[in-house]
Amino acid sequence: MTAVAERLESLVEAFDAFRREKAFGTDRTRQQREAAFARFLARGFPSTRDEEWRFTNVAPVAAMRFVRPSAPALDRATVDALVHGATARIVIVNGRLSPQQSTLDALPAGVTVSASANITDGPAVSGGAFVDLNDAFFEDLVIIRVAEKTVVSQPLFLLAIGSGDAQPVMVAPRVAVIVGDGAEVSIVESYATVGPAAVLTSAVTSFQLGAGAIVDHVKVQTESDAAFHLATSHVRLQRASTFTSRALTFGGRISRNDITSVLDGDGAECTLNGLYIATGDTLVDTHTTIDHAKPHCPSHEVYKGILAGKSRAVFNGKIIVRQDAQKTDAKQTNKALLLTDDAQINTKPQLEIFADDVKCTHGAAIGQLDEDAMFYLRARGISVESARNMMIHAFAGDVLNGIRVDAVREAAVTLMEQKLRLSHEV
């Protein structure tokens, strides 16, 4: 217990400092924070003895002394670049909604954004230590509402920036997206770090889709290689709604995404696709749960990883089919491309099926670039480098080509090329 207490000392100090600030909130919020932090202290950081964290050692996170960040000065150009000049932007800086960087007055009709200090204004999100940390340290619960039957034609850019000068900082962005019945919206959720400090982002995001709502979602994580990104996302789908998501993880020293999607209404459809690229000593861990709670729901999942250097990846894809969820059609594919001998992945599909009239398929493939294909391309005059380039683009294209927001898709391709030192494909 003493060892644990010592490791958590810096967080206790940070929480103490937070207690003395106005942002700590009023009575109810204070109680909620205290309860959450007590839960966190009781459990501590997860260890590799915990089944859900078997291959992801967060000791480097626990070893750092994080402080709560001050409000940094960000120039407009930095933010502009991160949202590709989009007009509808909701920007969170170090956990706080930034009205200066956002365009809250110019959001499309039917879209409203508010900030609350009361965590119960959003849906309850369950999770482990990092959700507890978010519950304790979040500053603004940013609530994005899309009114029912509203079709939002321009994509909403939600950007969370973590920034600090010298000491490592901890930020806890928290967002609830509530999409009304029959509404339609495209949301780009980005995470980036600015400045020299190492940033720990413990993010919690929830999406609630009303009946017949359609949400097209992209998550882009481009934090620095010194950053820790520990994010929990919850999606709940009502009858006949559709959630289509692509999660791109391109940054971070340790990145962990826990994504849970509950198909909670007849005929709802969910797509969780993802592409992660890891180089150097970084680690990317994705744990997804697709929970088929109601009948007639299709779900699709394609995750692809490209690993170079000594990087590591973990993929755990759980699919639960509840007893009521007859006629479920769930497909899961997980592929990883290992570009070096030292790169490594642990992958596991996990199917828990309690209904009898269902279709569930899963497949995993891990390998290097296909030698036969490489030879075929070279035998036509294409250099080894170009052939490799083409093959990697093709591998990633499976996920990237599905991104509907052009600027985001093009930027993702460019970022991949930079990270893997590929030449640009036209």
Partner 1 sequence: MLLDIKDLRVKAENKEILKGLSLSVNAGEVHAIMGPNGSGKSTLARALAGHPGYEVTGGSITYDGKDLLELQPEERACEGLFMAFQYPVEITGVNNAYFLKAALNAVRKHRGEEELDAVEFMQLARSKAKLLEMDQTMLSRSVNEGFSGGEKKRNEIFQMAVLEPRLAILDETDSGLDIDALKIVSNGVNALRSPDRAIIVVTHYQRLLNYIVPDFVHVLTDGRIVRSGGKELALELEETGYVRVEPETTGARR
* Residues β-bridged to residue 307: 278, 338
Please tell me whether residue 373 binds partner 1 under the rule CB under 8 A: yes
Using CB under 8 A as the criterion, what x/- string covers residues 394-413 for binding partner 1? xx-xx---------------
Instruction: State which of residues 8, 147, 382, 407 lies at the interface with partner 1 (CB under 8 A).
Output: 382
Angle at 381 between CA 379 and CA 382, to 5 degrees: 100
CA–CA separation, 277 vs 281, rounded Å?
12
Span near partner 1 by CB under 8 A; candidates 61-69, 159-167, 213-221, 381-389:
381-389
Instruction: State which of residues 64, 226, 391, 415 lies at the interface with partner 1 (CB under 8 A).
Output: 391
What are the backbone dihedrals phi and psi of residue 126, each rounded to the nearest 5 degrees, phi first? -95, 155
**Considering beta carbons, is residue 205 or 334 the nearer one to partner 1?**
334
Please tell me whether residue 27 binds partner 1 under the rule CB under 8 A: no
Using CB under 8 A as the criterion, what x/- string covers residues 187-216 for binding partner 1? ------------------------------
CA–CA separation, 200 vs 229, rounded Å?
6
Span near partner 1 by CB under 8 A; candidates 52-60, 149-157, 372-380, 403-411:
372-380
8 Å CB contact between 145 and 112? yes
Q: Counting Cβ atoms within 10 Å, is residue 134 exposed (0-12), middle (13-18) or buried (19+)?
A: buried
- Rounded to a whole number of angstroms, the minimum distance from the CB of residue 397 to partner 1 is 5
Please tell me whether residue 417 binds partner 1 under the rule CB under 8 A: no
Span near partner 1 by CB under 8 A; candidates 191-199, 268-276, 307-315, 392-400:
392-400
Tokens at 70, concatenated: 């001050």
- Rounded to a whole number of angstroms, the minimum distance from the CB of residue 369 to partner 1 is 11
CA–CA separation, 394 vs 412, rounded Å?
14
Amino acid (one-letter) located at 304: K
Helix axes 27-43, 129-137, angle to 10 degrees: 150
8 Å CB contact between 416 and 396? yes
- Rounded to a whole number of angstroms, the minimum distance from the CB of residue 404 to partner 1 is 18
Q: What residues make contact with partner 1 under the rule CB under 8 A?
A: 370-373, 375-384, 386, 390-391, 393-395, 397-398
